[in-house]
Structure 1
């Protein structure tokens, strides 16, 4: 009999997940605690998120000797990504931090900022600050991002300094 997969400890994302804007990371595969601490925690103002995942394409590899066409892994892409924030009536909100064409890193700590757990590090450029205008909703700002190179996924969160 096959060994079962490890049982997961399920959790509710809100109140646990951390998302940071970090202006500078020297090695995205191994951010330091000092670099992380220099970032800005965004989670308390995030009302929605979209994207923030990678996908892999496939490439067919046909051979004349078979009617079956096997495939191999191909390009890796990241979907269009955004974070939606609450807007402030004083305009002192995310618009002062995530300005258009700002470059940096969006760091996702899905299980919280827990040393030894994992995080994903997305190198990004801010492409827009879209104002969401609705008659009966609270004012929001959607920051849209271009993911500029392959993210580092499942990177160990460093211990506190």
Structure 2
């Protein structure tokens, strides 16, 4: 009999997931704790998110000797991605951090900033700061991003100074 998959320890994303804007990372496969701590934590003002995933296409590889057309892995793309933040009436909000054409990195720590956890590191350029206008919700700013190269996925989160996570 096959071994069953390990049961997941399910969690609620709000209050757990961390999302950071980090201006500089030397190697996205191994961000350092000091690079992470030089970033800005965004989760306390994030009201919505979209995208932030990669997908892979397939390429058909037909051969005359068979009616079946097998496929091989093809291009990897990233979904259009955005973060929506609460706008401040005095203008002191995410607009000062995520300015149009700013290049940097968005880090997702889905299970929190834990020493034994993993993170995804997205190299990005901010493409816009759209004002979300709706009569029935609080004012928001949507930052849209171009993902500029292959994200580093499931990268180990480095230990915090002093050894704690």
1: CA distance between counterparts of 2:92 and 2:15? 23
Structure 2 unaligned runs (5+)? none
Partner of 2:29: 29
TM-score by length of 1: 0.99
Where 1:160 maps in the other structure, the secondary structure is coil
Query: Quick check: 1:136 aligned with 2:136?
Result: yes
Q: CA deviation at 1:133?
A: 0.7
1: CA distance between counterparts of 2:83 and 2:38? 20
Partner of 2:119: 119
Partner of 1:92: 92
Where 2:58 maps in the other structure, the secondary structure is strand
Query: Quick check: 1:48 aligned with 2:30?
Result: no
Which portions of structure 1, spanning 4 or more consecutive aligned residues, are displaced by more than 6 angstroms?
none
Structure 1 unaligned runs (5+)? none
Where 2:112 maps in the other structure, the secondary structure is coil
Where 1:131 maps in the other structure, the secondary structure is strand
Q: CA deviation at 1:116?
A: 2.1
- 1:51-90 correspondence runs (5 A): 51-90=51-90
Partner of 1:11: 11
Q: CA deviation at 1:135?
A: 1.2
Where 1:19 maps in the other structure, the secondary structure is strand
Q: CA deviation at 1:130?
A: 0.2
Deviations 1:67-123 (A, max 9, x none): 100000000000000000000000000000000000000000000000121000000
